[in-house]
């Protein structure tokens, strides 16, 4: 066998094994919905509570970032009194 044929055979074998491994992984790995349905009801409640808390935290961070952006857009210094916004020109 020539050297090129050996390399071709090894390359084909490697690609085949990697494809087999990937296909096997896709078949045996459950989807997130299947995992959620397989949980006990009390564990589902905990997961739902964690999801709600994470969503609320993400929304709070989003509002905070928006407020910081609005403050950054202002043309007055950060230490200026927010109550007294009158300007003298």
SS (H, E, C) 18-86: HHHHHHHHHHHCCCHHHHHHHCCHHHHHHHHHHHHHHHHHHHHHHHHHHHHHHHHHCCCCCCCCCCCCC
On average, the pLDDT of the chain sits at 87
Give the mean model confidence (pLDDT) for residues 10-26.
98
Contact 78, 70 (CB under 8 A): no
Contact 71, 78 (CB under 8 A): yes
pLDDT above 70 coverage of the chain, percent: 78
Q: Determine how many CB atoms are found less than 10 A away from the CB of residue 47.
A: 13
What is the pTM for the complete model shown? Answer: 0.51
Tokens for 54, please give them.
């994470």
**From CA 35, how far away is CA 47, in angstroms rounded?**
11
């Amino acid at each position: 066998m020539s050297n090129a044929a050996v390399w071709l055979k090894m390359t084909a074998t490697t690609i085949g094994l990697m494809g087999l491994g990937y296909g096997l992984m896709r078949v045996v790995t459950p989807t997130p919905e299947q995992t959620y349905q397989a949980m006990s009801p009390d564990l589902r409640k905990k997961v739902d509570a964690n999801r709600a808390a994470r969503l609320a935290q993400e929304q709070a961070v989003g509002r905070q970032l928006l407020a910081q952006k609005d403050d950054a857009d202002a043309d007055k210094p950060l230490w200026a009194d927010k109550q007294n916004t009158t300007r003298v020109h």
